Structure 1
């Protein structure tokens, strides 16, 4: 009598578990995304909120730790430092740059056709490097390390750029999805960093 093929460890289910581990990770990502969205409301807490999300998802993916609100809050408290709050001024500045960029596109100023794409690409680059920094382990986290890794891993950088552009398009076209977008972005940063570490 033929036996059913054994499922790989990632697809095995505990007794009574309806969904596999992949769906559980997806649900954790959405839940962490909601918590991150709430933590981002003061704006200057955005870097700390994303690094806490990445740390929580890293624990969940790597060690099977539950992605509970308590775990996320613990990571968030550890990252709410004067340094991360100072870096939290960067996202509002990026938004300001994008508003200036949009004004340039609508204007007839000389050089607007060149400046508008340049500002958009610069903003995208800063967002990707910043997002990559949130996926790094705490001892490695710095703008310089993030920039080095972004240059050394162009594939991962392109993946993060695509994630940022897609998130921006979704936020613009379906604003109701905005509270859920931090989760996939943090997950993308974490996955790219884990892949980069594994390849290295």
Structure 2
């Protein structure tokens, strides 16, 4: 039987619980950084970068998160946030118009929902890409290629979104903690996809 990892002096919990606590603290910091809405892509991308660094031995703390985010808030990051907010508003408006009883509304609603879902998956996968730290267009192109090559990863992203939405719906205060596990899931999907393309 293998021995369990030992705790460091002064550590209350084992390493797995420490990672869980770090993910929650990064998630809370991400939720705060997302409040202006246009900062959401940069905030989520920064969370993914911090959690990716945890796999390389770097600390995954809220302090490191804010240090990464401070270097990120450029015009390109805010433009990406504005595009994301405009896309979400357009999708909601299209679905509202489809629900108004216009001719061909059921087919239009299905097409609008499919396009919105595809854009959501590509956008979230772009946030997990390392390129998103410096070049959003390159990150979106790479995420679109990943979405085509790895439909299983897209399913995992949608499952993570559904889980986060369900947690927030069941208990509203959990909405402030869901960005951390969401960023962890997106980072894991990106690492998985990179491993599959490298093999």
Q: Please tell me the TM-score bracket, short chain as reference.
A: 0.7 to 0.9
Give yes or no for the alignment of 1:126 onto 2:97. Answer: no
Displacement of 1:169 after TM fit? Answer: 3.6
Q: Secondary structure at the match of 1:41?
A: coil
Q: Secondary structure at the match of 1:67?
A: coil
Give yes or no for the alignment of 1:198 onto 2:192. Answer: no
* Rg larger for: 1
TM-score, L = length of structure 1: 0.86
Superposition pairs of residues 94-109 of structure 1, within 5 angstroms: 94-109=87-102
Which residue does the alignment assign to 1:146? 143
Structure 1, residues 128-174: CA drift from partner, whole Å, max 9, x if none? Answer: 11111111113675211110111111111110022123323443453
Displacement of 1:32 after TM fit? Answer: 0.5
Aligned counterpart in structure 2 of residue 77 of structure 1, from 63, 70, 82:
70
Distance 1:92 1:54 in 2: 20
Distance 1:162 1:193 in 2: 15
Displacement of 1:12 after TM fit? Answer: 4.3
- Count of aligned residue pairs for this structure pair: 193
* Native 8 Å contact 1:97 1:119 kept in 2: no
* Native 8 Å contact 1:132 1:193 kept in 2: yes
Which residue does the alignment assign to 2:171? 174
Which residue does the alignment assign to 2:35? 41
Aligned counterpart in structure 2 of residue 6 of structure 1, from 2, 5, 8:
2
Please list every run of 5 or more consecutive structure 2 residues that lacks an aligned counterpart in the other structure: none
Please list every run of 5 or more consecutive structure 1 residues that lacks an aligned counterpart in the other structure: none
Taking only aligned residues, the RMSD between alpha carbons, in angstroms, comes to 2.1
Structure 1, residues 98-136: CA drift from partner, whole Å, max 9, x if none? Answer: 432442353221111111122122112111111111111
Distance 1:18 1:172 in 2: 32
